[in-house]
Amino acid sequence: MLQEQGSVMKAFVLERYGKKRALRSTEVPTPELRDDEVLVEVHAAGVNLLDAKIRNGEFKLILPYRLPLVLGHDVAGVVVEVGRRVRQFRPGDEVYARPDDFRIGTFAEFVPVKEASLALKPRNLTMAEAASIPLVGLTAWQALVEKADLKKGQKVFIQAGSGGVGTFAIQLARHLGATVATTTSAGNAAFVKNLGADIVVDYRSQDFEEVLSDCDVVLNSQDGKTLDKSLRVLRRGGKLISISGPPDPEFGKEIAAPGFVKLVMRLLSSGIRRKARGLGIGYSFLFMKANGSQLREITRLIEAGAIRPVIDSVFPFESTNEALAHVEAGRAKGKVVISVK
C-alpha cells in the first residue's frame, strides 16, 4: 500500500512543553519519506521515560525539537514503502527499531525510519513484545558491551532492576557471564533473580553502599545522590556509566553541540568527573543512539532464548496519555507498550 501524497494519519501530538501536559489526539500529514528511509506502518510502540522527559522540556538543550511534535521512540510494524536508496527491506517485512533523534514519532499510524536504524523483527516475538525492546535493548547494549566492554567474571551493578532498562540489562549482563547486582523493592526480588540477578538489594530497607563493593561497572539510572554513592562501590579502574546524566564533554562532542551547550555540560558534570578521577574511576554519560546492526545482534539473542521481553502492560492507542502517565509513575515492571493496529 503506497502512501498517497498529502495523506493524513492519526497521531498523538505534543503542542507545548509542560509537565503532565496531555498529548493531543489529532490527524497530521503522513511524514515525507527520504531516500534512505523506510515507511513503517506502526503496529505497536514502546513508551519510555524519555518521552515524558522530552514532553516536560527537560531535553530542550540536547534535543532542540520544533513543536508540534509526535513523540515515541520504539516501533514494531510492517514496511509499507521504501526510499529509493533502500536495499535491505521491502514492503511486507516485519521490522522493529528505535527511530533516530529528530525523526521520532511512533505514537502514530506511520513512522519513517532510516534503513541503517531498522532490523527485522525477532521471529519469536509478537508486535507488542518487539516494540518493547529497541530503546532499552540498545541502551543496555551500548552501556555494557560498547562502553563497559563487560567481561565474563566481572561484577556489574545495574540500578532499578525491575524497570525497562533494568530488566533487559540484567539478562544481557548474565548472558555475558557477569555477576549481577541490582536494586528493587522486596516484592520484586524473586522477579529480578529470575531474570539473572545474583545480588538483590531492597532499596527501601537496605543501603546498596553497605552491601556492594569492588564492582567493575555501575549502570546508573537514578539521581545525583545515587550517582555519588555509586563511586564508592566501584573498584579502582572501574567504570561508572550514567544514562540519567549529567552529560559530559565527550557527549557534547558526539552530538556536535553548540559551544555554550558544551560549556553547560562541562560544568554540570565537573563535580562527578573530578571525584571519579580522584578514585581512579572512569565516568561517562550515555544517551543511546539508533543502531540497526546492534539491533540485529539483540535479535539473535532473543531468537536464541538468551533474552526475553518483559512487558508490564499494553494500552490501546487511544489511551496513549494514560500509558505515558503509567511510565512516569515509575512503578512499571518492565516495559509499557501501546497497541496501535
Rounded to whole angstroms, the Cα distance separating 337 from 104 reads 16
Same domain, 149 and 244: yes
Rounded to whole angstroms, the Cα distance separating 200 from 158 reads 10
Is residue 5 scored above 70 in pLDDT? no
173-208 pLDDT, tens digit per residue, is 999 999 999 999 999 999 999 999 999 999 999 999
pLDDT for position 3: 56
Same domain, 83 and 94: yes
Query: What cell was used for 205?
Result: 530497607
pLDDT for position 61: 86
- Structural domain contains residue 260: yes
DSSP 3-state of 216:
strand
Same domain, 160 and 274: yes
- Structural domain contains residue 206: yes
Same domain, 164 and 202: yes
60-118 pLDDT, tens digit per residue, is 988 999 999 999 999 999 999 999 999 999 999 999 999 999 999 999 999 999 999 99
- Structural domain contains residue 190: yes
Same domain, 277 and 327: no
Is residue 6 scored above 80 in pLDDT? no
Q: Phi and psi dihedrals of 181, rounded to 5? A: -110, 145
Is residue 31 scored above 50 in pLDDT? yes
Same domain, 89 and 12: yes
CATH number of domain containing 62: 3.90.180.10
- Structural domain contains residue 198: yes
Same domain, 124 and 261: no
Q: What is the pTM of this model?
A: 0.97
Rounded to whole angstroms, the Cα distance separating 226 from 240 reads 11
Same domain, 154 and 208: yes
Query: What cell was used for 6?
Result: 498529502
Same domain, 75 and 119: yes
From residue 281, give the alpha-carbon distance in Å to each of 15, 112, 156, 251: 42, 40, 14, 18
- Structural domain contains residue 295: no
- Structural domain contains residue 48: yes
- Structural domain contains residue 218: yes
How many alpha carbons fall within 13 Å on the CB side of residue 330?
6
Number of structural domains the chain divides into: 2
Q: Could you say which of 270, 285, 300 is where a domain stops?
A: 285
149-165 pLDDT, tens digit per residue, is 999 999 999 999 999 99
Length of the chain: 341
Mean pLDDT of the chain: 96
Same domain, 317 and 237: no
CA-wise closest residue to 207 among 243, 173, 172, 232? 232
- Asked if 250 contacts 293 with a C-beta cutoff of 8 angstroms, the reply is no
Its domain, for residue 22, covers 8-133+309-339
- Structural domain contains residue 290: no
Same domain, 263 and 148: yes
CATH number of domain containing 150: 3.40.50.720
Same domain, 240 and 177: yes
